[in-house]
Amino acid sequence: MESLPRRLPDRTHMPDTSAVTVLLVEDDEVIRRSVALALERYGYRVTTAADGLDGLERFRDDRPDLLLLDVMLPGLDGIGLCRRIRETSTAPVLMMSARGDSLDVVSGLEAGADDYVVKPVDTAVLVARIRSLLRRATFAPAQQREQGARAATADRLVFGDLAVDPAALEVYRDGEEIALAPTELRLLLEFAAHPGIVLDRQTLLRNVWDYGWDGDSRVVDLCVQRLRKKIGADRIETVRGFGYKLRR
């Protein structure tokens, strides 16, 4: 973790974070304290846990807005904790890995994490990732903003047995509603807005993950994999060498 600034960050142009609670689960006391202090300087309310089992209990008691999980935790590791959280919640999950190797990254994303950072992480990068995840969890699509009072809900977009309601943020398959995590929902809405059009990974990273720089395309691949399990394996087609497209 980078050395912390001596002065509080300038809040003039910062979003209001006073109502946002972050649960930080990290077994290294030095890292746990420094990360918590850094986030508190940016206005976040931070609760902490030193192991996975305590983290699971804190999650159930506090219901935080976002979770920041270390991969290597005693008792219940970060991957297992993420899986337990995903059984009952779609809250944004950001994984922290000391190594950033493929196994950690893939395992975390497969377990349901929305994104990951590699330790030691720059405070500004960490805060940017957190803000991005929170935007994904609370966004209102452009179609809903534009229609506003003209209609309570937008017409559903139908693709075979899949129906997407962009205004209500609801997805149905064979008439049954599907529960999607915020990132999965934003990814599907991006595909639904461009049916039959191939979207490359960098475009998806920019439009769905809010990356203003080249990110790790594995987060796209693993999120597509999770989405396919919920909406049908054949609904999103891989166009090798280019990206993905939603079949009409």
Per-residue pLDDT of the chain in tens (248 residues, 90 and over written 9): 444 444 444 443 444 556 799 999 999 999 999 999 999 999 999 999 999 999 999 999 999 999 999 999 999 999 999 999 999 998 999 999 876 666 777 888 889 999 988 888 889 989 999 998 898 776 544 444 344 333 334 478 999 999 999 888 899 999 999 988 888 999 999 999 999 999 999 999 988 888 765 667 888 999 999 999 999 999 999 999 999 999 98
Question: Using an 8 Å Cβ cutoff, are 205 and 215 in contact?
Answer: yes
Joined tokens for residue 18: 């006073």
Q: Which of 229, 227, 226, 224 is nearest to 244 (CA)?
A: 224
| Cα end-to-end span (Å), the chain | 46
Global pTM? 0.71
Q: What span, in angstroms and rounded, lies between the C-alpha atoms of 111 and 157?
A: 29
Q: Which of 223, 232, 169 is nearest to 201 (CA)?
A: 223
- Count of all residues that appear for the chain in the document: 248
Rg (CA), the chain: 19
- Beta pairing, strands 176-177 & 199-200: unpaired
What dihedral angle (degrees, nearest 10) is formed by the CA atoms of 210, 212, 213, 215?
0
Q: What span, in angstroms and rounded, lies between the C-alpha atoms of 140 and 138?
A: 7
Amino acid identity of residue 88, one-letter, is: T
156: region left, alpha or beta (phi > 0 left; psi from -120 to 50 alpha): beta
Q: Within a 10 A sphere around the Cβ of 144, how many other Cβ atoms?
A: 17
